Amino acid sequence: MQKFESTLHFSKQFFLVQTLIVLLSVGSSLLIAMAVPLKLVVVLCVLRYVAINLCSNNRYRAIGHDENGWYLIEQNRKVYIDFQNGSTITTIVSVIRFKLPQKFLKQSIVFFKDSMPHDSYRKFIVRVKFF
């Protein structure tokens, strides 16, 4: 079995989707009929959520597969993962639901096809379908 590993880079598509969601969320919360201080609290909550989401999505530097299974690279160390139900792999975006062996809760990572080299993303899709 051939080993697979690909680095995860900054994704322009993810940034555009995230920006659109933030703008729509902030805009709709400002249009709701409620007191101004409450609107500011809602906007701050949305911005905090975005900051947490962006930080957690950039946590992993690479994804790969070897004889021991699938892994993510975090701070120069391999973290082996167990794929879970709910993972979605398409030709545009991948949402990987996984569980770390020593953790109870499931986690997710979202990456678009432009976060990997084109050939690597295609190989990733093939690998996931067969394993």
Give residue 56's pLDDT: 67
Asked if residue 114 and residue 72 are part of one domain, the reply reads yes
- pLDDT tens per residue, range 32-64: 888 888 889 988 998 888 888 776 667 788 999
pTM for this structure? 0.77
Give residue 11's pLDDT: 86
Asked if residue 80 and residue 43 are part of one domain, the reply reads no
Q: Is the pLDDT of residue 131 over 80?
A: no
- pLDDT tens per residue, range 94-116: 999 999 888 888 988 888 999 99
Torsion angle (degrees, nearest 10) of CA 49, 53, 56, 60: 180
Asked if residue 77 and residue 123 are part of one domain, the reply reads yes
Asked if residue 65 and residue 51 are part of one domain, the reply reads no
Asked if residue 48 and residue 89 are part of one domain, the reply reads no
Number of domains making up the chain: 2
User: Contact, 3 vs 64, CB < 8 A?
Assistant: yes
By residue range, what is the domain housing residue 98? 4-9+60-130
